[in-house]
Amino acid sequence: MKWLELFSVAGATLVAAVTVVVLYALGVRLTAIAGDVNNSPASWTRPLAYVCFGVCGLAVLFGLWLIIPYFHH
- The pLDDT value recorded for residue 12 is 93
Domain count, the chain: 1
Percent above pLDDT 90 for the chain = 78
Provide the residue range defining the domain that includes 14. Answer: 3-72
Which tens digits make up the pLDDT trace of 8-25? 999 999 999 999 999 999
- The pLDDT value recorded for residue 55 is 97
Contact indicator for 18, 11 with CB cutoff of 8 Å: no
* The length of the chain, given as a count of residues: 73
Confidence band (pLDDT; 50, 70, 90) for 59?
very high
Which tens digits make up the pLDDT trace of 27-48? 999 999 998 878 888 889 999 9
For residue 52, the one-letter residue type is C
Average pLDDT, the chain: 92
